[in-house]
Amino acid sequence: AQTVTQSQPEMSVQEAETVTLSCTYDTSESDYYLFWYKQPPSRQMILVIRQEAYKQQNATENRFSVNFQKAAKSFSLKISDSQLGDAAMYFCAYRRPTGGGADGLTFGKGTHLIIQP
């Protein structure tokens, strides 16, 4: 079974600074899908960014970008110019290739991101 590890239970960053959240995963597949979700206090899970392992180019969505290191099985999330609204739990997730068998994302345990004003 795949596992996703987020080694930082909590991170704190000053507003306007840059922070990187780490994520590693374990898989024997060559193609798969990786996601970062954000969960603010409202509890709504919000997709932040996604990446297909087949594509080596790192995904970017405005202030959010990833550093995808396939050989190292690492998928870290960088948040630039941190804003107070970025404060949330962040979950890294892995999805196996489609076709046969169970679908669904495997999630890490999450990183609680605190933004200091």
Partner 1 sequence: DVKVTQSSRYLVKRTGEKVFLECVQDMDHENMFWYRQDPGLGLRLIYFSYDVKMKEKGDIPEGYSVSREKKERFSLILESASTNQTSMYLCASSFPRGLSPLHFGNGTRLTVT
What does the binding site for partner 1 look like in residue numbers (CB under 8 A)? 1, 6, 9, 31-33, 35, 42-45, 47, 50, 52, 91, 95, 97-98, 101-110
Rank residues 42 and 117 by Cβ distance to partner 1 and give the closer one.
Answer: 42
Nearest approach, Cβ of 43 to partner 1 (angstroms)? 5
Q: Which two tokens stand for residue 26?
A: 């374990």
Nearest approach, Cβ of 70 to partner 1 (angstroms)? 15
Q: Is 108 helix (H, G, I), strand (E, B) or coil?
A: coil
CB atoms < 10 A from the CB of 25, how many?
20
CA-to-CA distance for 103 and 8, rounded, in angstroms? 27
* End-to-end Cα separation, the chain, in angstroms: 40
Rank residues 18 and 44 by Cβ distance to partner 1 and give the closer one.
Answer: 44
